[in-house]
Structure 1
Amino acid sequence: MKTVMKDKTELEILEEKKEKLDLKIKQHKRTQSNRKLRARHLIEVGALLEVAEIDQENKNTLLGYFINYKKISNEEKEILKVQGKELLEKRKLERISKKEKLKRNLTNIEIQELLKLSQTNNIFEIITKEFKKKLLEQLTFEEYQILIKRFN
């Protein structure tokens, strides 16, 4: 009878230890999640400094500037908000435009350049295997640039 009681208390002790470990695991996951969110936020803020082209500015100067931000009126903050939104939208449109330019079809001059390359290199094998295309005219400008870099 005594051994049953002893076993029960050992079991209770093990359960308590398990509960403590489970709690520590939950806390660790929570802090890990918070760290990821904080890291993401800091990366976003750093990217904004880069967009504003002040990421290389002296830290003390930036801190002083940010402290003075608190003194700006709500009307001025709204103006700054609109300016920031416009700049980010402009950058987004430029990125989209740049991607579209890379997707355009090749010009005759670019096709002739690839034909010259094909005389000394087996570019058609790459075109069919990597790009899954059969004709030079089907290549995008981005694929053209990849071929030119590879063989020049």
Structure 2
Amino acid sequence: MKLSFILNEKPLTLETEPDRRLLDLLRKDLHMTGTKEGCAEGECGACTVIIDGEAVHSCLVLACQLEGKHVTTIEGLEENGDLSRIQRIFVEETAIQCGYCTTGMIMSAKALLLHNPHPTEAEIRNALAGNICRCSGYTQIIRAVERTAAEGGC
């Protein structure tokens, strides 16, 4: 099938199988490896991207669902070759342990802050509930999201 969508603010048209996962399109076809595969079942959140402003697990999204959509990956957050504010704050707050969950956490946090620029701790925890950090870095992650909000958002 011929598929057209916006990826990181750039129009993209490609040929693919309609049942190909977005995760595979990103990693294997487009060589965008920032989005990670963890569980392949929508449980861990390592593959989280933003589609039309909502955080979604890319392992559960099929190519046929992307037509006309706006998809943002971790690669799309950079600003003039530098880390975005949220990425920089995650680093500064040591909200990165092994790093495997980090891109998914950042994308879920970004989606939250797009809709709610001043979330409570409970709202942050709820927004990140679909993401697992096996290193138990939740305290730093929550702090990084709170600080990003306090400093004006993503």
* Shorter-chain TM band: under 0.3
More strand by share: 2
- TM-score, with length taken from structure 1: 0.19
Larger Rg, first or second structure (1 or 2): 1
Q: Provide TM-score, normalisation by structure 2.
A: 0.19
Q: Which has the higher helix share?
A: 1
Q: Which has the higher contact order (CA 8 A, sep 6+)?
A: 2
